[in-house]
Each structure stands twice: as structure tokens, then as C-alpha cells.
Structure 1
Amino acid sequence: MSTPLTDSSPAEPPPSAPDSGPELQRTLGGFQVFAISFAFISVAVGIFGTYGEMLATAGPVGIWLWLIAVVGQTLVALVVAQFAARIALSGSSYQWASRLANPKIGWLFGWLTFWFLAIAVVALDSALASQAFMPLVGMDENEDTARIITVVILILQAILVIASTRLLGLITSGAVGVELAIVAVLVVALIGVVVFTSSGDVSNLTSRGVTEGNSSYYAIGGGLTAGMLMGLTTLVGFDSAANLAEEAKDPFRSVPRAIVASVVAAGVAGFLFLIALTVAIEDIDAISKSGSPVAAIIRDQLGPVMERILLAAIVFAIFGAGMVVMAACSRQAFAMARDQRFPAHKLMRKVNPRTQTPIFATLLILVVGVVLLLVLPGDALLKLITASTLLPAIIYGATVILYLVVRKRLEHKEGGFSLGRFEMPIAVAALIWVVVALFVLVTPGDSTASNVIVAGLILLGGVYFAKMMIFNREVLETEPSGGDAVDAVVESTE
């Protein structure tokens, strides 16, 4: 039976959980922490799933928009890292806002983050089933079959996430290694084939492809704007390392470094991959109409055997990414439940004494995913998944604003991560970028349904928030101390 557990590890005690409540085991090394953030971003997987949409909306030339997204998301990551260097608790932005603004604002951060992560698990595993696993084993397209496979994947991931945080770290590290190998091998192979067979075309890098002649291409919400969605939807989740901060060794240094390094590494690897793919296109019109353009390019240039190898590697990479998202989401629920601010908090806050993982919080993510797959029809599920791309932009924007408001209350830890004199210009630039990103996400004509879903999730949260305010108000009035897991935070003067 799962019971609250206090870790009794000897030697140097790690940063403790709030008020010595349920604690997680500190087992993740520096590379494993980096791997968690990088695996969440999952650059090869992100490009695999969004490259076709980019070709259809912005054309091949749209890959240059990736660089803009990399710079913008790196600015946000630098701000997020500033918080991670000072508060090393599961729940990331929920903890930061709760302790530096007030618990009520922090709760909203936590609620939005939970739903972003919960939906992202379904999105990743749905893509794994339909875009990678089924083509790999030669199964025909079938939505019902894809949903059944997705449920099986969710169950397997839940079992592994519950089993051990160390196992999670090993699998995600392996997934990152495979993903980097995919990108490196394909970049070299594709460029080599193009150079030696003259089968590609460098002019693709400036071609508008099927969007040539589109009168709304440069309009607000038009093709060029929509082309930026590839970077915005892929380069997110880098803060997942902060969501597992209580399970990281030396979190005040390893977590912020992992956050920034994962975005930079993903940005560079992704751009090289995009260059190679785009140059290797032989028939832009045919590839743009393909259901899986990346796989089609690989098949055309490297043959069906390489395509199979690619799909097998992609299956493993997406599976590892899904595990990371599920783990991060369960820690989000755990952190809020530990503070009695989450539904069924008495169950969700429990840590199993044997596995040192929050079993019920992990099972909740599994249940949410299965319910969404069983209840929502195809179009509604697609709209929900699309809506999840708006949530991180809202969360990151609110995080940057929070930093600008409270930054003077934060002291710098000796030897810890710090932006020094550049923190203010970076934070302001990050805020400008987030405003641009939100504009890009909400302006496309087909975004109305997604915007409504996000509003609905906020409204649902408002109902539970009102319940707490009426029946359990005290939990939103005070904040647990956090012990030495909250470092260098200076209380504001009254």
C-alpha cells in the first residue's frame, strides 16, 4: 500500500520537500536531467510530425522561421533557469509563483501546467501509434486501431514511470541518444546522397513550394505566420527538468543548465535536420501532399530499409518522450496535492516506499489519457491536442512576467546559475517574444476551437478554485516552508 514517505538517505541531505512531507528520491545525474528536458522537446519527433504542415502553409522556405523560434525560446529558457536556480521543488512554475507572488496565482500556474502535460502525453502517444508504430509494422490507417494502441502505450509508460525514477532516467537517456543518432545519421546521409547523386536541390531553401501565388501568404494568420508553428510547438517542455528537481542531484546547478542546454541543443540539431530534409526534396509538390513527408523523403533518397530503421528509432524516441511527459505531469499533480490544492490530494500526494514514486498521481495521468481517447471523437481530440500548444505559451509568458515583478527579491547563489547584468534585457526580450508567439498561435482562422477549449479548462479550474476558497480557504493563504529546497529567496518587506 502506498504511504507518505520521508527519504532517510544518509550523507549530505538533499533539499527537502515542504514541511518534511512526502519526498522523492534524488537519483538523477546531470546528463539524465538534461536528457529529460531534451526528450520532452524531442526535436526529431516534433519535426517528423509538423514538417508537412509547414510545407503546406509556408513552403520549404519556412524552415528559416525555426531560427527565430530557437532564439525566442532560448530567451524564455534563460528566464525559467533563473527560477530553477533558486527553488528546487517539483511543480516548477507552480512553486515559483506560489512562493514569490501568492498561492492563488501559483495555483493557476499549476492547473494550466497540469493540463498542458496531460494532453501532451496523449498527443505524443497518438503520434507514436498512428505516425510511427503502425507504418513500421505495416498496419493500414485506422483511427480505432490507433486509439487502442495508444491506450496500450499509455499503460506501458505508466508501469515504467511508477517502477523507478532511475529507470526513467536510463530510458530517456537512451531515447536522447537514439534521437541524436537519428538526426546525425540522416543529416550526413541525406547531404551525402544529394552531393554525390545531384538528386536534391539547394534552391529548395528559398522556395515557397505549393504556397506560391497564395495571396494571403503574408497576411496576419496567413501561411508565413503559420509556418512558425513548427518551432513553437516543438521547442517547448524544456522546463520539465524543473518538474523533477526533487529527484535531481545538485539541482541548483544541474537543472537550470539542463533547461538552457536542451533548447540550444534541440535548436541546432533541428535546424541541421531541416536543412538536410529540405535540400533532399526532389518533388516539392508530391512531398507536400504526402501524409508523412519526412518518411517519404527518407524513402526516396535512402530506400525503404532506411525508412524502416528510421521509424523504429522514432518509435523508441517518442516512447521515451511520452514517459518524460507523464512523469513530469505526475510530479505536477503530486506537488499541488502535497499542498492540498489538487483534487483527491490525500491520494495524489502519496509516495510509494518501495519505488519512491507517486503511484496514484501517475495513474491519474493514465486515466485522463484513456478517458480522452474513449470519449472524444477524432475531430474533438485533434482540437484538444491543438489547444495544448497554446497552454505553454501562456505559462511561459506568465512566468516571464512573474520574474520581472519579483526579480529584485531573488539573491544570487554563489556558484549557481545566474544571468548577472544581462538578466533584465533578456527578460524584457523574452516577454516581447512571448507576446509575438501568442499572436502567432491565436491568429490562424482554425484556432477558434482550440482557444475555446483553453478557456474551458481555465473555467473548469475556476470551479475547483472556488470550491477551495469556500471550503478549504486556509490552503490558499499560507505556503509550506520548502526547507533548503528553496534557496536564496528573500522575503519581501511588508
Structure 2
Amino acid sequence: MAAPVHTDTSEDVKVLHSMGYAQELSRRMGGFQSFAISFSIICILSGGFGSFPIALSTGGPFSLTIGWIIGSAYALIVAACLGQIASAYPTAGSLYHWSSILGGRFWGWATAYVNLLGLLFVIPAVNVFLYLVTRDLLFGSVLGWDVSGWGMGTQILSVAVITAAQALLNHFGIRLTTILTDFSGYLILGVTVILIVMFLMAAPSFDISKAFTFVNNTGAPGGGVSPQTGPLMAIIIGLLYPLFTITGFDASAHTAEETVNARNTVHKGMLHSVFWSGVFGFVLILVMILAIPDLNAAAASGWSSFNNLFIAAILPTFIGKLMLIGVIISNFLCALAAVTSTSRMIYAFARDGGLPFSGLLSSVSPTYRTPVAAIWFSAIMAVVLTAVTTPLNAFAALSTGCAMYLYISYAMPIVAGFFAEGKTWTTFGSFRLGGLSKVFAVIVMIGTVLVTIGGHAFVVSIPGTPGDAAANPPVAATSFVPGLWYYSVGFAIILAILWFAIENRRFQGPPIGEAAIAKRKAIIAAAEKAVGESA
């Protein structure tokens, strides 16, 4: 049955037309769906588990608890700042569109690429963790398979298959996606509550004080998860834990053109998803710490610390095995929602000519009312990133890059708004921060600097070593593996070349101003007619 459509007299479509865009996507999402898609991407059962060793092996319990509180509060401030802008400009391009309006053509173009990079890191980061937890806990611990021979090739192929399944589900329409993300929201809450009870039951004692102790576990004490650093840097790196977990909440904004009453709904989706993830995540972390008999030994086990805890505290019971299945499904749906968010960003940027093959990437299926080409492009790039980062410890590199690049992209329209508010920024929605707006913006700027420093300090280069054929047994040579700094500098250089050589003259950005928007009336009508939207 054909999806119901809004006429151009609806408030949502009027707002979209006033910004120069057609209603091509199917507007089916309500308030809960807007919340659920961001809550599903945040997914405390994904980042909260996968990056658990990052915090434990840097600042110890302090980074897990106090670090989580600080990171959650910071994420809520970022969400509030973005929500204020989303209430004024509810479009699928979100960050890119906002930066263009508030900061100019270049700032918007640069925001789009940084946000796109961060979003593309989300999908493989989650899917790599999904592969690892399935391999080690389900196949290895529960089913007893020998997974010791599963190497890099198996990981890349498995992630490719998982990502293709998520893209296929996105292909067939936002209705199917929202049903799955709605289910994901309930599943995450239900599994989290049961796991909290199970970890509490497994706790050898209830000494809450041990959950707030700072221990510098960088280097050897933390199993080599983090390079050896001083206490301050250990705390900064530890903040990657909550910031990788509580990220991707811009999904509510990226699906604004598919959300009913978007001006009054999108900011609530972001704020509620961050707040409840922070609350439930903190309780889950607290009981996980209580369930660990020896925190020093757990930290020394490095990347295995979460797996060891889950095997000891959860898997021995039938219910624990069911909870593992719930964790696996939650992670699959987390990356499914990330594909949705990423593809909408690509679609929005491409319709303004910001990407190569923009005509293809901005196309919308008349049958499914989804940006099919953008969906599959997201999936392909996610697999490519998995292959590129696998030699560097794919999960560490991808999760760190995700947190760092996404929060930089979140800061960019906020910084632009800091300077434009009350001057060139005069269009506001129902959600306003008032006197807190500029204060929050300064906090966001400081936090962005810290997460950037922490990200680059965590994922360092791996030096190459010469081989020794005469040794017994022979030692093979290893290649130099570049750290995250190389990716960031290379990315910045490529962007600079693209802008000054090509895009500065070619790229026009989103339509801004009454004259530019008025010229798009015929384009809007043709685009809506092509997908069956009533005129």
C-alpha cells in the first residue's frame, strides 16, 4: 500500500520549502521514533561494552564512573546546542546545512566532510565489535568453536556481510527501519535492566568506593591498550569511552525530513536519547565494576577485560546466554540506524552538489522513498574503512575516530552559531537556550580540543621492526602502521586541496536567501512529482 503523504500545506513541508528543499523522503517518524533512532545508535550495549577496556586501562574505575558522568554531561550540552539549531532548521543535512547558514559556504562544506567521516567510522566500529563479540563469546565460549584461526580476512568479510544486510533493510523504506529501531530501543532498555541485576548478583562485594578510585593503568598495567602516559592524559584518553558510546545522536536531526512536527520533535529526540543513555549506562558501569573481583588483574588483561567479565558473570546461566543474543541483536540494530543516519547526510549533501556523483547519491527511490544510492555508498565505504584500519586494531581506531571526528563536526555549527547568534542568525525555533547558549558553546569548544588531543594520543603509530631469519624460531619483519595523526593530517590536506583547487569555485552550498530559494520552486515541484508527493 502506498505510503500516506503530506500536502504542501502541512507545516513541516512549508518549513522545508522555505529552506529551498522538496519533500522527497517519506515523513513517517513521530517523537518516539526520533528518540529511538538516536538511542539505538548510542546503544550502551555497544560502545558501553566494546570500549569498556579503554577506560579501565587508562584511568581505571575513575574513568569508568566519573569519566562517564563528565562525558555524559558534556554530550548533553552538545545535544542541547545542536537541538537549538535543529529547532530552527530541521533538514536532513543538519550539521552541514546549519554550518553553511551560520558560518558560510566553506564552513558548511568542511563540516559536511568531517561529519561524514565520523558517521562512516560509526558503522564499521559497531560492526567490528559485533563480529568480535559474536566470534569470541557466542561461537567461542557458548558453542565451543575453535575461532583461533579467524584472522583479518575473516573479520573484513564478516563485517561486509553484516553491513550489506543493514543496507538492504534500509533500502526498503523508513517504515521498516523505524519498526526495527523502535524495537531496538525497548530491547536495549530490557537487556540493560536484566544485565544490571545479573552483574549485581555476581558481585563478590558491594564496596562502592572502589568504583571511584583513580589508577593510572596506561601502558603495561592496562595490558597495552593505551600507550604509557601521565595521569592527566590518562583521564583525557579515558573520556573517549563515554564519548564514543554517547555519539550518533545527530541521527534525530539527519532524519528530520522524515519526522512529523520536526521543529518541536527533533531536539527532544537528541536530548532524551543522550540523557537516558547516560543514566542507564552509569548504573550498568557501576555494577560491572562491582562484579570484577580484581580490578588490577582485569585491567592487565587489556582488550579481554570485558569478555572475561561477561564470561564469568553472565554466560554461565541460560538467561545470560539469552542476554548475549540480545547484545548481539542490539549491536546489529545500532549499526542499522547508523546506516540510516549516514545515508541521509550523504543524500542531503549530494543534493546541493557537495559530493562526486551528486546526481546519483541524491536520488530517491519512488517506490521506497529512500536514498538508495546513498545507503549503498555508506555500506561500501564502511567496509573499506574496516579493511584500512584492521592492521591498526580496527575497533580502537574506528571507535576513536568516530568519537573524535563526530564531536569535531558537532562543534562546527555550534562555533558558527556562537558568532552568528543575534547578528546574522535571527531565525529560531521553539527550543532556545537563552543565556546559556554562548556559555554552552564555550564548553563545547574546550571539550572538542580535549577529545581531539585524547584521540590522537590514544591511537599512535606502530613502528616497523626488522626481521631475524637466524632466530629460533625466525622473527618476521613488521611494517610501519600509521597512527590517527596521519589520517587526520592527510584528511585535512586533501580537504584543503579540494577546496582551493576545485570546490571554492564550483560548490554553491544550500540555497540561502529569499531570491535563491524562490528560484528553486520549479525544482521542488519536479522533485516531489517524481516521487509521487502531492503538489
Whole-angstrom CA distance in 2 between matches of 1:109 and 1:466:
16
- For residue 122 of structure 1, report the CA deviation from its aligned partner: 1.2
Matched position secondary structure for 2:460: helix
Equivalent runs, 1:360-379 vs 2, <5 Å: 360-374=373-387, 377-379=390-392
Asked if residue 264 in structure 1 is aligned to residue 264 in structure 2, the reply is no
Partner of 1:451: 485
Whole-angstrom CA distance in 1 between matches of 2:67 and 2:160:
35
Whole-angstrom CA distance in 2 between matches of 1:174 and 1:8:
24
Whole-angstrom CA distance in 2 between matches of 1:73 and 1:367:
29
Per mean C-alpha deviation after superposition, the further-off stretch among 158-167 and 384-393 is 384-393
Letter in 2 for 1:211: N
In the alignment, is the contact (CA less than 8 A) between 2:97 and 2:510 conserved in 1?
Answer: no
Whole-angstrom CA distance in 2 between matches of 1:85 and 1:20:
17
Asked if residue 481 in structure 1 is aligned to residue 517 in structure 2, the reply is yes
Whole-angstrom CA distance in 1 between matches of 2:314 and 2:123:
31
Asked if residue 398 in structure 1 is aligned to residue 424 in structure 2, the reply is no
- TM-score scaled by structure 1? 0.87
In the alignment, is the contact (CA less than 8 A) between 1:79 and 1:403 conserved in 2?
Answer: no
Whole-angstrom CA distance in 1 between matches of 2:97 and 2:508:
17
Partner of 1:488: none
Asked if residue 116 in structure 1 is aligned to residue 118 in structure 2, the reply is yes
Equivalent runs, 1:111-150 vs 2, <5 Å: 111-132=113-134, 135-138=137-140, 139=145, 140-141=147-148, 142=150, 143-150=152-159
Letter in 2 for 1:426: F
Matched position secondary structure for 1:211: coil
**Cα distance, 1:115–1:372 mapped onto 2, change above 3 Å:** same
Whole-angstrom CA distance in 1 between matches of 2:347 and 2:336:
16
Partner of 2:289: 278
Whole-angstrom CA distance in 1 between matches of 2:229 and 2:101:
45
Letter in 1 for 2:117: W
**Cα distance, 1:351–1:308 mapped onto 2, change above 3 Å:** same
Per mean C-alpha deviation after superposition, the further-off stretch among 93-102 and 442-451 is 442-451
Equivalent runs, 1:23-62 vs 2, <5 Å: 23-62=24-63
Partner of 1:356: 369
Whole-angstrom CA distance in 2 between matches of 1:314 and 1:242:
26
Asked if residue 183 in structure 1 is aligned to residue 192 in structure 2, the reply is yes
**Cα distance, 1:445–1:104 mapped onto 2, change above 3 Å:** closer
Partner of 2:447: 433
In the alignment, is the contact (CA less than 8 A) between 1:48 and 1:294 conserved in 2?
Answer: yes
- For residue 452 of structure 1, report the CA deviation from its aligned partner: 2.0
Partner of 2:338: 325
- For residue 275 of structure 1, report the CA deviation from its aligned partner: 0.6
Picking from 73, 76, 81, the partner of 2:75 is 73
**Cα distance, 1:364–1:445 mapped onto 2, change above 3 Å:** closer
Cα shift readout 1:120-144 (whole Å, capped 9, x = no counterpart): 2111111111123553133515232
Matched position secondary structure for 1:27: coil
- For residue 302 of structure 1, report the CA deviation from its aligned partner: 4.1
Cα shift readout 1:156-202 (whole Å, capped 9, x = no counterpart): 000111111111111112112111112211222322443xxx45643
Whole-angstrom CA distance in 2 between matches of 1:20 and 1:445:
40
Whole-angstrom CA distance in 1 between matches of 2:94 and 2:192:
30
Picking from 203, 207, 211, the partner of 1:205 is 211
Cα shift readout 1:280-302 (whole Å, capped 9, x = no counterpart): 11132443316443343243234
Matched position secondary structure for 1:420: coil
Letter in 1 for 2:168: I
**Structure 2, unaligned runs of 5 or more:** 222-226, 462-481, 522-535
**Cα distance, 1:159–1:407 mapped onto 2, change above 3 Å:** same
Whole-angstrom CA distance in 2 between matches of 1:135 and 1:189:
17
Cα shift readout 1:197-224 (whole Å, capped 9, x = no counterpart): x456434314456839979764442x33
Letter in 2 for 1:276: V
- TM-score scaled by structure 2? 0.81
Cα shift readout 1:294-347 (whole Å, capped 9, x = no counterpart): 343243234423442232111111111111111111111111111112110010
Matched position secondary structure for 1:388: helix
Partner of 2:467: none
Picking from 247, 269, 284, the partner of 1:236 is 247
In the alignment, is the contact (CA less than 8 A) between 2:27 and 2:260 conserved in 1?
Answer: yes
Partner of 2:473: none
Partner of 2:165: 156
Whole-angstrom CA distance in 1 between matches of 2:212 and 2:437:
36
Partner of 2:224: none
Per mean C-alpha deviation after superposition, the further-off stretch among 315-324 and 427-436 is 427-436
Letter in 2 for 1:171: L
Partner of 2:262: 251
User: How large is the RMSD of aligned CA atoms in angstroms?
Assistant: 3.0
In the alignment, is the contact (CA less than 8 A) between 1:66 and 1:230 conserved in 2?
Answer: yes
Picking from 328, 334, 348, the partner of 1:315 is 328
**Cα distance, 1:378–1:411 mapped onto 2, change above 3 Å:** same
In the alignment, is the contact (CA less than 8 A) between 2:314 and 2:321 conserved in 1?
Answer: no
Per mean C-alpha deviation after superposition, the further-off stretch among 8-17 and 68-77 is 8-17
- For residue 367 of structure 1, report the CA deviation from its aligned partner: 1.7
**Cα distance, 1:216–1:368 mapped onto 2, change above 3 Å:** closer
Matched position secondary structure for 1:187: helix
